[in-house]
Copies of this chain bind each other. A is one copy, B any other.
Amino acid sequence: MIELYHAEPGSNSLKVLQAVHEKGVPFVSHYVDLRRFEQHDPEFLKINPAGQVPVLVHDGRVLTESTVINEYIDTVFERPKLRPADPYDEAQMRIWTKFVDEVFRPSLSHLAWHRVMPAFADALPPGEFEKRLERIPLQEKRDKWALAARGGFTEREIRTWRRQLGEAVDRLDAALQEHDWLVADMFTLADIAMFAMAFGVPPGFPELMNAKRTPSAMAWLERMRARPGVAAALAMPNRTLAA
């Protein structure tokens, strides 16, 4: 039996939600409310001491890291395969999922924190943001959120993340100019990983990703949304939208 601890269908949670829906694997959903910092609740830390979603529990064994979880799901549940059979194509798929983890997601996350964290912290009662920060188990994340909340990222950092995000979107667009999917003309975990981040770029950074500048990437977003599994993942409860 699979249990999934996840937040809204976005970012790393969306990555795993797409995989289980596309594979048709039944799962028990445990919603973790990030806006309430539930990922840092003592209850949740018993499951993942790092205080991060998503987490997969399969037959009592706990697995973290969305990219690793998705390969695991594709190994354990046979069909439909979300990885190419050819080892070289499989390697290309992994270069994409690695690129998402090391470049696309970090640049997007930092820019998002830079944009929303000051207002988010201000909107809480005095001292409440600091209290919540104290509960973050990973010091690096604690430090980064504190820094973001006081607008402390340097100009150089912000410039770098913006350039990286722009280049990432361009790379995505270039790869899709001649193909419907990123690797080996089949829908794979590379498309899933990329979509989990990229679908948030047009609303958040319309100047970087739009029908004129990156038409192939925009058309691919629509192909992704049209997939029943992806659509089902996107239809999962989203309290952020309701706010």
Interface residues of A, Cβ cutoff 8 Å to B: 58, 61, 63-65, 67-69, 71-72, 75-76, 87-88, 90-91, 94-95, 98, 101-102, 139-140, 143, 154, 160, 163-164
Docked pose: A58 CA to B69 CA in angstroms: 29
A57: min CB distance to chain B, Å = 11
Partner of A65, one of B61, B98, B164: B98
Q: How far is the CA of A167 from the CA of B90 in the complex (A)?
A: 32
Bound-state CA distance A75–B160 (Å) is 36
Contact A88 to B61, CB < 8 A, known contacts A160-B140, A160-B143: yes
Contact across chains for B75 and A63 when beta carbons are under 8 A apart: no
Q: Judging by beta carbons under 8 Å apart, are B91 and A72 in contact? A: yes
Copy number of this protein in the oligomer? 2
CA distance A76 to B154 in the complex (A): 45
Nearest opposing residue in chain B for A74, CB measure:
B87
| B98 and A67 form a contact (CB under 8 A) | yes
Q: Show 25 residue pairs from A and B whose CB-CB distance is below 8 angstroms, ordered by the A residue.
A: A58-B88, A61-B88, A63-B88, A64-B95, A65-B94, A65-B95, A65-B98, A67-B94, A68-B91, A68-B98, A71-B91, A71-B94, A72-B87, A72-B88, A72-B90, A72-B91, A75-B87, A75-B90, A76-B87, A101-B102, A102-B102, A140-B160, A140-B163, A140-B164, A154-B154
Query: Measured between C-beta atoms, what is the minimum distance from A72 to chain B in Å?
Result: 5
Point out the residues of chain B lying under 8 angstroms from A68, CB to CB: 91, 94-95, 98
Residues of B within 8 A of A61 (CB): 88
Given contacts A67-B98, A68-B94, A101-B102, 11 further A-B contacts (CB under 8 A): A58-B88, A61-B88, A63-B91, A64-B95, A65-B94, A68-B98, A71-B91, A72-B88, A75-B87, A139-B163, A140-B164
How many angstroms between the C-alpha atoms of A143 and B157 in the bound complex? 11
**A102 vs B58: C-alpha distance in the bound complex, in angstroms?**
26
Q: Which residues does chain B contribute within 8 Å of A164, judged by CB atoms? A: 140
Nearest chain B CB to A49's CB is how many angstroms away?
12
In the complex, what's the smallest C-beta–C-beta distance from A78 to chain B, in angstroms? 12
Bound complex: CA of A140 vs CA of B160, how far in Å?
Answer: 8
What's the minimum C-beta distance from A87 to chain B, rounded to whole angstroms? 4
Nearest B-chain residue to A159, judged by Cβ: B143
A143–chain B nearest beta-carbon distance, Å: 7
Residues of B within 8 A of A140 (CB): 160, 163-164
